Structure 1
């Protein structure tokens, strides 16, 4: 029993240890090779810049803008992705007809569309939300499509033999079978939503953490640039773990949750 508990707690101890080792290696590399602070700042200077950013109320304003854009775009992608995935999963004919358009929309470099979004929607939140939604849409839609197709026809036959209505079949079979795929798409989608938001702010924004990256670059402030990247990573982890926590709450019975909890 004690050994099993240690195995479950091991990831929580190993992750901080790995981070500490990486930071130490970072510091030793700078000292050993005399790397310039402009090229690669030391962990200490990055920490000082990070503390200064956190204490600045303007930073929280930019972080709130980025979070709002990413979450709004992600939620729009969830609604559209689930609706499209269900429709395509239910109709093979519709899926074959729309597949070329969907693939074409995905292979177009999204960065090339940002100037158009700026022209159409301006430098405000709208263009960044659309960018985030576009990047998050495809993984969500694809996973929902796979989820709808994953339902075993034999299970549907069993529901029919039990004279279950369409609503009961959807509620007890199709909905529960598709939910794990939906959350898998959401876990990937939230990452892409953040990427889309940052790219949009970087190329055509005047607010947000992506804009702070541009400001730090223009000022040739390497430590602040690294500090903003740390904030971006922290925001991404926070949103990802929020989706993961919701997954554990909604589908605690699924095998993916068991594996994450260390249960085999």
Structure 2
């Protein structure tokens, strides 16, 4: 146990820093007598969080946001795989398509939300499209870079032995791209959650984003913070799941050089 703590000091430091920050926050708010509507204490946020957990309405809205983010993430990943494969394998496609993709990425995604609402309405479809749009590009770029990172010497050797283009793609390029792919997924799932919430902010009658707006209108600041904590926990949970899959299917690679990490 002591050896484990010595090798991984963050196991001890992370909870200690968290407790200290919470204590300092609580103390300063009480001493300075800051109004709850401006900045609530951690204890009040905790009470609001527990209250939400006991409320069926909260879970219904949490599920709505989760579905929007997951569907958006799925479609972003699907289209990124298709587009990324063609772009990385066919030069003319890369030269033709990439300028448009980069130009589209330069558009502030929040500005697209009103357009999506006009096209798809105030329902969940516009939120799914928003989530997919925001998550798409980081996944795409990592797939393209991953497929291009394959060892050129191995590719030449396989060609000498008569390997087909598909065999090279499956045996060399796909394994090389896996760490990049999961790094893109790691970023993409977080952006999908962000996209779903942004869509809910701009036009929705349900979801955690809508709950934040309702809390704002009612000056329920502790509830706003509680919902933000839930969104943060959703992101952490999604990150852990993606990393777990990465360790299983792409355990051999160092991610420090990968786009988006």
TM-score, normalized by length of structure 1? 0.91
Partner of 2:221: 222
Partner of 1:42: 41
| Bigger mean CA deviation after superposition, 199-208 or 22-31 | 22-31
Partner of 1:26: 25
CA contact (8 A) 1:82 1:182 kept: no
- 1:161-189 Cα offsets, whole Å, 9 max, x none, are 34444444223211100111101111111
Match runs of 1:23-172 below 5 Å = 23-172=22-171
Alpha-carbon distance between aligned partners in 2 of 1:72 and 1:65, rounded to the nearest angstrom: 11
TM-score, normalized by length of structure 2? 0.92
CA contact (8 A) 1:27 1:42 kept: yes
Alpha-carbon distance between aligned partners in 1 of 2:70 and 2:15, rounded to the nearest angstrom: 28
| Cα distance change, pair 92–168 in 1 and its aligned pair in 2 (3 A) | closer
Kindly indicate whether residue 236 of structure 2 is the aligned counterpart of residue 213 of structure 1. no
SS at match of 2:15: helix
Partner of 1:184: 183
Cα displacement (A) at 1:56? 0.4
| Bigger mean CA deviation after superposition, 12-21 or 189-198 | 12-21
Partner of 2:14: 15
Cα displacement (A) at 1:63? 0.6
Cα displacement (A) at 1:14? 2.4
SS at match of 1:27: helix
Alpha-carbon distance between aligned partners in 2 of 1:242 and 1:146, rounded to the nearest angstrom: 23
Cα displacement (A) at 1:11? 2.7
Partner of 2:259: none
| Bigger mean CA deviation after superposition, 84-93 or 165-174 | 165-174
Alpha-carbon distance between aligned partners in 2 of 1:210 and 1:70, rounded to the nearest angstrom: 12
Alpha-carbon distance between aligned partners in 2 of 1:239 and 1:253, rounded to the nearest angstrom: 21
- 1:60-90 Cα offsets, whole Å, 9 max, x none, are 1111110100011001111111211121111
| Bigger mean CA deviation after superposition, 121-130 or 169-178 | 169-178
Partner of 1:244: 243
How many residues align? The count is 256
Partner of 1:199: 198
CA contact (8 A) 2:149 2:173 kept: no
Cα displacement (A) at 1:197? 0.5
CA contact (8 A) 2:135 2:189 kept: yes
Alpha-carbon distance between aligned partners in 2 of 1:12 and 1:163, rounded to the nearest angstrom: 52
- Structure 1: 5+ residue stretches without partners: 258-264
| Cα distance change, pair 173–219 in 1 and its aligned pair in 2 (3 A) | same
Alpha-carbon distance between aligned partners in 2 of 1:244 and 1:8, rounded to the nearest angstrom: 21
Alpha-carbon distance between aligned partners in 1 of 2:12 and 2:246, rounded to the nearest angstrom: 23
